[in-house]
Amino acid sequence: MNIFKGLLALGLIAFSACKESQNSLDVSWVSSTENTVWLEKKYESVLNEKAADISISIDTNKQEQEITGFGGCFNELGWDALAMVTPQEKQQILNDLFSQTEGCKFSLCRMPIGANDYAVDWYSHNETEGDFAMENFSIERDKKRLIPYIKEAQKINPEIEVWASPWCPPSWMKHSKHYACKSNPEFNDLPEEWSSTEELESRFITEPEYFEAYALYFAKFVEAYEKEGIPISAVHVQNEYNSAQNFPSCVWKPEDLGVFIADYLGPKFKADQLDTEIWLGTVERPQIERVSNILEYKNAEDYVKGVGFQWAGKGAIEAVHAKYPEMELMQTETECGDGSNDWKAAEYTFNLMKHYFENGANSYMYWNMVLDETGKSQWGWKQNSMISIDSNTKAIKYNPEFYLMKHLSAFVAPGSVKLAASGNTNNALAFYNKANNEVTILAYNNTSEAQELALNINNEIVKVALDGKSFNTLAVSLN
């Protein structure tokens, strides 16, 4: 106990000794509570000797992973929701998501290859059975919704990167010849004899001509989008490859995905000299062997740039980061709740952010950026979105998770690095942007009462009083 008191006293002396440097720092501060969002506060030095409720020490030399970006997913139902408002309102929403001088500054976003659960209906880019040469491959369907959506984002941020993943291959490449893996008469017509929730058993037809055709399908997708002026930065080979869903899905045995990557997709991209990266994603189970059994098949790891995680995949990221420290890591789809769009959802997402970045994630993706007020997919699940548009009144609502995403993405630019921090860090994340010598801290006061936060940054002190139940971003310039 005496040793603890001595260490605490030394810590307080260290904070006190740095007090004089407070006025030399340039601090920007934005705070959000449930009732007052995105309040820009004026930073004023708190000169007192009492110990802060929350004390965090940051050394900009203790750098961890590089941050590559933040974003969400371009989905068909999102574009349809945007069509309900005036052109001016639509432009404002898009600016609030993609502008690099205001808004969320999104720079890395996802899109589906073919239908997902937020498509208007089911489709792939080639439903001609037996067309192994992909002569009938077409992205014509995407020119109605997905491509215009992405093009509007490109107008605002020409440097935006887009990565893509299939939820389902062309249906004729599956044993069932159907987009779904689980029968549900309310939402699909998959015959019951083909319905199965069994994992680790491939629904894809694992024969050479199908593997070869599917690799060609990916290559044609990349090339077709390139012609549209939309470079595809990466493909993740299968969304949730362990999950049999009543919407577009395809379960894979991990070793079969290893075969596809090592023997077909990787060599195809290499032969066609495609710059598009191949990622192993999206991982939605906690067992590391469901990742390692893919990467360790022959030379699959040589072709894979990174691993993407979502949902229960959060349980695997720590082990994957430890075993494959050179792999880039991405949180690919933040958990979407049940359409509550409330403050509790934002609190939950903050804890997800904390978990992923503390375990090596380089980027963080929201799911639906925009939906109508129902939040429903074509398959019945009501989910959260950053922005909701009422289909009756056309009212636009920016939900709490919009502001939470903005609290990070608007300040933590690609190329920044996560910093290791010490002290009361349970509800805080710290980042450093070397380009402008700025430290960004996202801190959440999870109590109902105001709390004082003391930051020791390279032996300089910042003290602020955080409102109860508030997200706070402090951008501290060290120049």
- Give residue-wise pLDDT tens across range 170-184: 999 999 999 999 999
As a whole number of angstroms, the distance between CA 198 and CA 136 comes to 32
Amino acid found at 97: L
By DSSP bridging, strand 363-368 and strand 69-73 are parallel
Copy the structure tokens of residue 207. Answer: 């024969």
Task: Tell me if 234 sits within 8 A of 106, measured CB to CB.
Answer: no
Q: What SS3 state is found at 464?
A: strand
Least confidently predicted of 38-52, 172-186, 341-355: 38-52
Q: Where are the alpha helices (DSSP H) in 203-246?
A: 208-227
- Tens digit of pLDDT for each residue in 296-322? 999 999 999 999 999 999 999 999 999
pLDDT value of position 44: 86
Considering the chain, what percentage of its residues have pLDDT values greater than 70?
Answer: 95
Taking the C-alpha atoms of residue 205 and residue 454, their distance in angstroms, rounded to an integer, is 58
How do beta strands 26-32 and 470-477 pair? Answer: antiparallel
The secondary structure of 409-435 as a DSSP string is HTTS-TT-EEEEEEES-TTEEEEEETT
Helix H or strand E encompassing 108: strand 108-113
Please report which helix (H) or strand (E) contains residue 8, including its range: helix 2-17
Query: Nearest 5°: CA angle at 203, between 202 and 209?
Result: 90
Q: How many CB atoms neighbour CB 260 within 10 A?
A: 26
Average pLDDT, the chain: 95
**Residues 343, 349: Cα–Cα separation, whole Å:** 10
Q: What is the C-alpha radius of gyration for the chain, rounded to an integer number of angstroms? A: 24
CA atoms within 13 A on the CB side of 478: 19
Tell me the domains of the chain and their CATH numbers.
26-65+418-477 (2.60.40.1180), 68-409 (3.20.20.80)
pTM: 0.95
Give me the mean pLDDT over the 64-93 stretch. 98
Residue 22 pLDDT grade (very low, low, confident, very high; cuts 50, 70, 90): very low
**CA dist 263 → 113, 164, 235, 241, 331 (Å):** 21, 21, 16, 18, 27
Q: Which residue has the tokens 């380089």?
A: 362
pLDDT band at 24 (very low <50, low <70, confident <90, very high): low
